[in-house]
């Protein structure tokens, strides 16, 4: 029988090991707190985890990050958390880390902001004045947002806000309204709007200021970690273990224990009870407040907020491996944003699942070749793709709980797989015949592995009323219960990690900057994903070993079934142990 007696309490128990939970745990453990992190999946990382399909690695949630130049925010965050020295990043193609494909109009986002403006003007010379004015507003808004965020005191924030005339003027406007104010060309509007996929809200509802933050994060291009998302998770868990933190996987929390309005522990699904001085939930607000707590005991104000909270879109995601030289087809390490027309609003919206099954292609999607982003996984024979389209949460309710063996579910996934391949054929003619394995992730997958309310991919929906003051605070109304993650501050890897740092600072009653003091002079190494002349010998040797090994693989044995588009749910997910990397020397 399980021993459910009271045990010596931890200082902190963290529910969930996503980027927010891990960064909070690092900050707290470094300050001498005893930390326990509980993860319901059998690997840590949340959306940052990676998994293998027949030896091929995929990262479902981490497709690129930004701000890794010396002194930039995300790099400083990695250095302050002491994970930078264990990380290698590859910079995606500088001439076009984002490829916008809007109907027959193509535009490639370069990594240099000045070049970005110049290329826009060269392609749309009739919009030169509008482009200059729009980008001036974007860059001023980014600067003023950063200044506002840097001021922690109320007095400092008031002063920064008083100096933020552009932010005040445009901060509460939608992305569409600001773009259309300066830009009249519909194709150019679509090109400037298409990155809204990074926050999952269409331009007619997306916050312009929030979108400026996303653009600012990628102002100087995109980067991908060697080893995919699992490399970041491994680096973070190594720091946690170094400082004595404990991580337990396959441990679902049944409820948060409270008494007299104060949180003091958790009860696991096994019945085991664990106790702590503070609890941090990296789960989304509805999991935290309505599944792990008794909603009736919450204040009326919080109950009303929960009732009115909407969650981001969910997703359909294809993971496939092809055996062909995709570079010869013009594919590179950049992301591909595809829109069938220049009408971005509603480009991924369907009225019903039946409407999806009647279509031949998706009207909007995101395509990433993770193999080209990570040279350490290139064997010059097999290339892995992740293809994503969004789907409204409620559409999948009729298939909620369905499993792989269900006939209706299998038929739906088969149809969706054909649609994804039809889209990919437009980008890479002949690719369908080169697919050696393909699997599909659905909202059911997100619910099962990420424990995401309604299968959401970005936490709460980032509409105007649900960001900033409208998001969920790190400090809850229940004493000693705190929140972190994509519903509190911002989504994405950097946003979620920053939320964990903010939550740790709230618990420790200090400034976030106090928790980001590097303990090593060593930092991340960055190489080009495209320029082989930059690659160190150890990387070239690793690639050569991979190429030799790949020659022994029979592509017909990739799958249990010979049909290359026969899909299976992601039941064998596992994190690949990142290969050892030579230690950087100062």
Does the pLDDT at position 530 exceed 50?
yes
In the chain, % of residues over pLDDT 70 = 90
| pLDDT of the residue at 556 | 54
Distance between CA 273 and CA 2 in Å, rounded? 10
Residue 566 pLDDT: 32
CATH 3.50.50.60-classified regions of the chain: 10-89+225-309+462-515
The CATH 1.10.405 portion of the chain extends over 114-219
Nearest to 98 by CA among 106, 89, 90, 110: 110
Q: How high does pLDDT run on average in the chain?
A: 88
pLDDT band at 403 (very low <50, low <70, confident <90, very high): low
Q: At what angle do helices 154-162 and 128-150 cross, to 10 degrees?
A: 160
207 pLDDT band, cuts 50/70/90, is very high
Contact (CB, 8 A) for 12 and 37:
no
In the block, which residue shows the tokens 């990262």?
A: 59
Where are the strands (E) in 381-530, listed by range?
Answer: 382-391, 435-441, 481-483, 525-528
- From 230, 235, 246, 232, select the one nearest 25 (Cα to Cα): 246
CB atoms within 10 A of CB 584: 16
pLDDT above 90: residue 234: yes
Task: Name the strands in the sheet holding 314-323, side by side, starting at the edge strand that comes first in the sequence.
Answer: 105-109, 98-102, 335-339, 364-369, 382-391, 314-323, 435-441
**What confidence score (pLDDT) does residue 73 get?**
93
The pLDDT assigned to 444 comes to: 83
pLDDT, tens digit (0-9, with 9 covering 90-100), for 159-186: 777 788 888 899 899 999 999 999 999 9
Predicted confidence (pLDDT) per residue in 32-80, tens digit: 999 999 999 888 999 998 888 888 999 999 999 999 999 999 999 999 9
Give φ, ψ of 426 to 5 degrees.
Answer: -65, -35
Q: Which pLDDT belongs to residue 554?
A: 65
Q: Which of 495, 499, 20 is nearest to 216 (CA)?
A: 495
Count of residues in the chain = 586
- The region of weakest confidence among 251-260, 354-363, 557-566 is 557-566
pLDDT of residue 358: 86
User: pLDDT tens digits for 414-441?
Assistant: 999 999 999 999 999 999 999 999 999 8
The residues pairing with 279 across neighbouring beta strands, listed in sequence order, are 13, 481
User: Domain 10-89+225-309+462-515 maps to which CATH number in 3.10.129.10, 1.20.1540.10, 3.50.50.60, 3.10.450.50?
Assistant: 3.50.50.60
Query: Is residue 287 predicted with pLDDT exceeding 90?
Result: yes
- Within 8 A by CB and 6+ apart from 12, the residues are 25, 28, 33, 34, 35, 36, 276, 277, 278, 279, 280, 507
Evaluate if residue 410 carries a pLDDT over 80: yes
| Stretch among 14-23, 218-227, 537-546, 569-578 having the lowest mean pLDDT | 569-578
- Expressed in percent and rounded to 5, the helix, strand and coil fractions of the chain are 40, 20, 40
Q: Does pTM surpass 0.85?
A: yes
The band of 317, judged by pLDDT with boundaries at 50, 70 and 90, is very high
Count of CB atoms within 10 A of residue 360's CB?
A: 9
- Which residues lie closer than 8 Å to 554 by C-beta, 6 or more apart? none
Instruction: Give the torsion sign (CA, 67, 72, 74, 78).
Output: positive
Whether residue 10 contacts residue 28, with contact meaning beta carbons closer than 8 Å, is answered with no
CATH top class, domain 114-219: mainly alpha
10 Å CB burial of residue 282 (0-12, 13-18, 19+) is: buried
Sheet with 223-225: list strands edge to edge.
Answer: 223-225, 88-91, 525-528
**Distance separating alpha carbons of residues 71 and 339, to the nearest angstrom:** 35
Contact yes or no for 438/567 (Cβ under 8 A): yes
C-alpha 175/C-alpha 201 separation (Å) is 10
Q: What is the pLDDT of residue 476?
A: 96
- DSSP count for the chain of H helices, then E strands: 18, 19
Q: What is the pLDDT of residue 154?
A: 65
Q: Where are the beta strands (DSSP E) in 297-450?
A: 314-323, 335-339, 364-369, 382-391, 435-441
pLDDT the model gives residue 396: 77
Residues paired with 101 in a beta bridge: 106, 338
């Amino acid at each position: 029988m399980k021993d459910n007696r009271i045990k010596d309490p931890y200082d902190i128990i963290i529910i969930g090991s996503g980027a927010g939970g891990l960064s909070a745990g690092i900050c707290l453990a470094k300050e001498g707190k005893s930390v326990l992190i509980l993860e319901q999946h059998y690997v840590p990382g949340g959306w940052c985890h990676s998994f293998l399909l027949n030896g091929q690695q995929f990262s479902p949630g981490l497709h690129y990050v930004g701000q890794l130049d010396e002194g930039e925010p995300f790099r400083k965050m990695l250095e302050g958390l002491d994970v930078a020295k264990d990380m290698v990043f590859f910079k995606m193609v500088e001439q076009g880390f984002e490829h916008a494909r809007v109907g027959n109009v193509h535009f490639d986002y370069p990594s240099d902001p000045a070049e970005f403006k110049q290329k826009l003007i060269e392609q749309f010379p009739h919009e030169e004045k509008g482009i200059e004015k729009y980008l001036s507003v974007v860059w001023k808004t980014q600067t003023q947002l950063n200044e506002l965020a840097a001021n922690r005191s109320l007095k400092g924030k008031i002063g920064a806000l008083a100096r933020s005339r552009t932010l005040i003027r445009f901060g509460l406007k939608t992305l569409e309204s600001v773009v259309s104010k300066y830009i009249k060309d519909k194709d150019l509007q679509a090109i400037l709007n298409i990155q809204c996929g990074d926050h999952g809200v269409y331009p007619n509802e997306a916050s312009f200021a929030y979108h400026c933050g996303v653009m600012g994060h990628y102002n100087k291009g995109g980067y991908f970690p060697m080893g995919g998302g699992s490399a970041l998770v491994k680096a973070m868990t190594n720091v946690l273990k170094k400082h004595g933190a404990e991580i337990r996987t396959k441990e679902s929390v049944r409820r948060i224990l409270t008494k007299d309005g104060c949180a003091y522990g958790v009860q696991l699904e096994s019945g085991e009870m664990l106790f702590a001085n503070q609890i941090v939930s990296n789960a989304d607000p509805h999991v935290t407040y309505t599944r792990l707590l008794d909603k009736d005991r919450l204040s009326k104000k919080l109950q009303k907020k929960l009732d009115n909270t909407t969650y981001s879109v969910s997703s359909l995601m294809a993971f496939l491996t092809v055996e062909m030289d995709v570079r010869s087809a013009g594919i590179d390490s950049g992301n591909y944003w595809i829109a069938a027309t220049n009408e971005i609003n509603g480009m991924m919206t369907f009225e019903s699942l039946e409407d999806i099954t009647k279509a031949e292609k998706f009207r909007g999607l995101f395509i990433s070749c993770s193999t080209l982003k990570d040279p350490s996984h290139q064997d010059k024979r097999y290339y892995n793709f992740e293809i994503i389209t969004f789907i409204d949460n409620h559409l999948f309710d009729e298939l909620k709980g369905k499993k792989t063996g269900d006939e209706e579910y299998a038929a739906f996934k088969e149809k969706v797989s054909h649609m994804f391949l039809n889209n990919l054929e437009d980008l890479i003619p002949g690719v369908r015949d080169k697919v050696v394995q393909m699997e599909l992730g659905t909202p059911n997958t997100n619910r099962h592995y990420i424990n995401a309310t309604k299968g959401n991919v970005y936490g709460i929906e980032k509409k105007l009323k649900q960001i900033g003051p409208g998001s969920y605070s790190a400090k809850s109304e229940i004493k000693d219960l705190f929140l972190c993650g994509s519903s509190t501050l911002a989504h994405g890897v950097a946003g979620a990690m920053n939320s964990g740092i903010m939550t740790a600072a709230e618990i420790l009653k200090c400034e976030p900057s106090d928790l980001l003091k590097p303990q090593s002079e060593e930092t991340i190494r960055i190489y080009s994903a495209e320029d082989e002349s930059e690659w160190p010998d150890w990387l070239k040797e690793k690639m050569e070993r991979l190429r030799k090994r790949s020659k022994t693989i029979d592509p017909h044995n990739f799958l249990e079934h010979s049909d290359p588009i026969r899909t299976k749910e992601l039941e064998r997910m596992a994190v690949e142990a990142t290969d050892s990397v030579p230690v950087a020397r100062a």
